A = this chain, B = another copy of it.
Amino acid sequence: MENRTEISSLGEFGLIEHLTRNFEIKNASTVVSVGDDAAVIDHFGKQTVITTDLLVEGIHFDLMYTPLKHLGYKTVVVNISDIYAMNAQPTQITISIAMSNRFSVESLDEFYEGIFAACEKYNVDLVGGDTSASQKGFVISCTAIGEVAPNKFVKRSTANEGDLICVSGDLGGAFLGLTLLEREKNIFLENPQVQPDLENEDYIVGKLLKPEARRDIIDFFETNGITPTAMMDVSDGISSEVLHLCKQSNLGCRIYEDKLPIADQTRQAAFKFGLDPTVCALNGGEDYELIFTIKQDDYEKIVLSEEISVIGYMAPMEGGTKFLSKGGNTFDITAQGWNAFK
């Protein structure tokens, strides 16, 4: 970076004006935006959907291999993914950041470039936030706001026995991207002369650093008259998410190993690291795909999409939450998802 402008030279209000200067409102629902005590939103008879996430440097991301622009983009995607997971459309976000003085105005500009790119792509308005100093590292808090036609939202707790369990896209890629980047980081720390070897790994690195939220799936539901019976997004790994759906719906499940969607690049990376692709798909986090259940009658509609895989079905609670391997064995599903406190 050529120039370095200290944040303290702008002050809090100057910084907010600077960061939001080129941002244009895209949604009619945004009545008042940045610059007042609060934003005002009018969803015109629709219901309002709200979700919030905290991203902490050293816990959720490593700036050694995460470009700030990608981090900004991902911050928005991670949050609006939760809005889509309610079968709703995101409309606004707020972004609050706390950072130490090692960050310059130019580095925050990069972060906001990513924020704005995601807002542009997903048609979302940035309507507020807060900026502060931090004692250590970079802390990001994002709140996403969306809208849904009255009572058309989809919860986690409303799956029925016999419903098909589906996932969008493919699984395990982000985890293998993380594994790769952590390996390259350690090699670099041991020997800074070695250049990172990321050849042919665009797919898994992209899944980690620049995930997309599955707006296309929500649009597909709308176009094809499908209402999932339950839904959530895949942030901690599908074994963890399946257990949430089962617990909250008071049901068990059957998941089939041979139905798990795993991309070729993910599978090859797993083999390279001596990992089982199935374990990566089950327990790897941060894929930001959607997992949802549908009535069996909707199966004919679902197969129209190449982006949706049926991986199992909801079963009576008494039978437990079971995973059926290719070899014909049955295992209990256990959540080995990510825990920020361990």
Contacts A133-B59, A136-B136 given; does A51 touch B35 at CB 8 Å: no
A308-342 near B? 1/0 per residue, CB < 8 Å: 00000000000000000000000000000001111
Question: Hey, which chain B residues are within 8 Å of A59, CB to CB?
Answer: 98, 132-135
* B85:A8 contact, CB within 8 angstroms: no
Question: Hey, which chain B residues are within 8 Å of A128, CB to CB?
Answer: 50-52
Closest B residue to A138 by beta carbon equals B135
* B38:A146 contact, CB within 8 angstroms: yes
Chain B nearest CB, measured from A79 CB (Å): 9
Quick check: is A272 within 8 A (CB to CB) of the other chain? no
Contacts A98-B54, A135-B59, A341-B7 given; does A40 touch B45 at CB 8 Å: no
* B340:A12 contact, CB within 8 angstroms: yes
Stretch binding the partner chain, chosen from A69-77, A147-155, A274-282, A294-302: A147-155
* B41:A48 contact, CB within 8 angstroms: yes
Quick check: is A185 within 8 A (CB to CB) of the other chain? no
Question: Hey, which chain B residues are within 8 Å of A38, CB to CB?
Answer: 49-51, 82-83, 85-86, 88, 144, 146
Question: How far is it, in angstroms, between the C-alpha of A203 and the C-alpha of B32 when the chains are bound?
Answer: 36
Chain B nearest CB, measured from A315 CB (Å): 22
Task: Please state the number of chain copies in the assembly.
Answer: 2
Question: Hey, which chain B residues are within 8 Å of A340, CB to CB?
Answer: 12, 131-133
Contacts A42-B150, A56-B133 given; does A11 touch B341 at CB 8 Å: yes
Closest B residue to A6 by beta carbon equals B341
Chain B nearest CB, measured from A105 CB (Å): 11
* Residue from A36, A47, A342 with most neighbouring chain B CB atoms (10 Å): A36
* B40:A49 contact, CB within 8 angstroms: yes
